[in-house]
Homo-oligomer: A and B are copies of this chain.
Amino acid sequence: MSEALRTAEILSIGDELIHGSNLDTNARWLAQLLERHGVAVVRFTVVGDDPVLLEAAMREACERADLVVATGGLGPTLDDRTRDVAAKIAGGPLWFDAPSWQAIQDYLRARNRPIPDSNRRQAEFPPSAVVLSNPVGTAPAFRVRIHRAELFAFPGVPREMKRLAEDHLAPWLAKLPGAQPIAQQCLLVLGPSEALLGERIEPFMVAGREPAVGVTASGGMLTIRIVARGRDRAAAAAACEDTASQIRPLLGEWLLAEGEATLAELAVLRLVARKVTVAAAESCTAGLFSAKLAEVPGVSAVFLGSVVSYANDVKISALGVDPALLQRHGAVSEEVTAAMARGACERIGARLGLSVSGVAGPGGGTAEKPVGTICFGLCLDGAVTTWTLRFPDLGREFLRERAAIELLAAVLRHVP
């Protein structure tokens, strides 16, 4: 990391955030941008529009960090106070920038919008601020030195914030003296609990280790994230890979994939690369697997369709499952998921058919097949595989999510 830029903080401003009406997605996006430029973000702060509380938060951030990126509070209304508060901390009055006011008027006029006088406020800036023009909205951003920190103030509208950060913050970061790039590498793990995985890779997770290793959980998937700094991007990436190469042998078949892509993206990429068309027969997941696949743009090249066979009659009529199988083994059985997977291929005309049938609860569990028992089936070019997993009963939502993830993982495991 740059000697001149040790730490960065992000400050999100707005009553709608602090009251829980809107989710702050700006801080996350900015953190990713900053990390890509080798800047470590150490804190996000969210405050409302109250000027006293905003001033305290902004002052503290500028005293702690070398770089503070603020979003929000640059609108034309009276509750937009980022300009005023920054001026107060910088110790001088706001100044009026005539070219900015002209640009705001031009922007509104080009869109046949009225030009309320309140927009004039958006052309005012704290002392010594550098004006950062906004081609996609009325609120210009600015950059100003406050205490030890460089403060960037962007509008809160995500679309405008992203454009302005790319136009003004990214080039500024790239020019920092001695900026040390960060690299990160992800290992996607499916199988163990977070505790079990943590135990296996415990020596890598100690505080202060370089590269840093962390684990995050989402819907039963675990992601091991390795973050390293280096002289240049290649050195940082090499440090990541060095740690990854020590961790991989500890994971065995738990290791599902590597990289930043989501599991759905990886599955779709694999199917597209191998030109394998896919269909599904979903019971307890009721379309969740198909919906996850279809999150990925371009999936239509391989995904043909699915049958959600919630009722047994639909398993029989729409997938051709033999009623005798249902009678003899029950809907949650590998015999039935085998027939469902085969039916998905035949009825929909796909090379790969995936199926799932399970007890997601809260009702429906038995001693033999308790809540959490989920059977899977996979048919690839006519060859059928089935398997059963017994998940802990962490609730209906978890079980359905986990089952859908299992099918995405099955694509990676079974389509070579």
Instruction: List residues of chain A with CB under 8 Å of any chain B CB.
Output: 14-25, 27-32, 35, 41-51, 53, 57, 60, 75-79, 81, 111-114, 116-119, 136-138, 157, 159, 184, 193-196, 198-199, 202, 205-207, 212, 214-218, 223, 225, 227, 280, 282, 284-291, 293-295, 297-300, 303-311, 313-314, 317-318, 347-349, 361-363, 372, 390, 392-398, 400
Contacts and interface: CB of A to CB of B under 8 A. Distances in A.
Contacts of A310: 290, 294, 299-300, 303-306
Interface of A is mostly: mixed
- Which of A19, A32, A118 has the largest count of B CB atoms less than 10 A from its CB? A19
A240 to B, nearest CB: 13
A126 to B, nearest CB: 18
Contacts of A79: 198, 205, 207, 214-215
A308 B307 CA distance: 6
A24 B393 CA distance: 21
A299 to B, nearest CB: 8
B311 A308 contact: no
Given A17-B44, A114-B196, 19 more contacts: A19-B31, A20-B31, A20-B32, A43-B47, A75-B194, A76-B195, A77-B199, A78-B198, A111-B392, A117-B199, A157-B217, A280-B308, A295-B397, A299-B310, A303-B311, A304-B310, A305-B308, A307-B307, A318-B347
A370 B372 CA distance: 43
Contacts of A398: 159
A57 B193 CA distance: 29
A404 B111 CA distance: 20
Contact of A42 (B14, B48, B214, B287): B48
28 contacts: A15-B207, A15-B214, A16-B225, A17-B44, A18-B41, A19-B41, A20-B35, A21-B215, A22-B216, A22-B217, A23-B23, A44-B44, A49-B207, A77-B195, A77-B215, A78-B198, A78-B206, A79-B207, A79-B214, A119-B195, A136-B394, A286-B293, A287-B291, A295-B396, A298-B363, A299-B310, A304-B314, A305-B311
B223 A21 contact: yes
A15 B317 CA distance: 50
Nearest to A310: B305
A383 B393 CA distance: 42
Residue among A17, A314, A349 with most chain B CB within 10 A: A314
A194 to B, nearest CB: 6
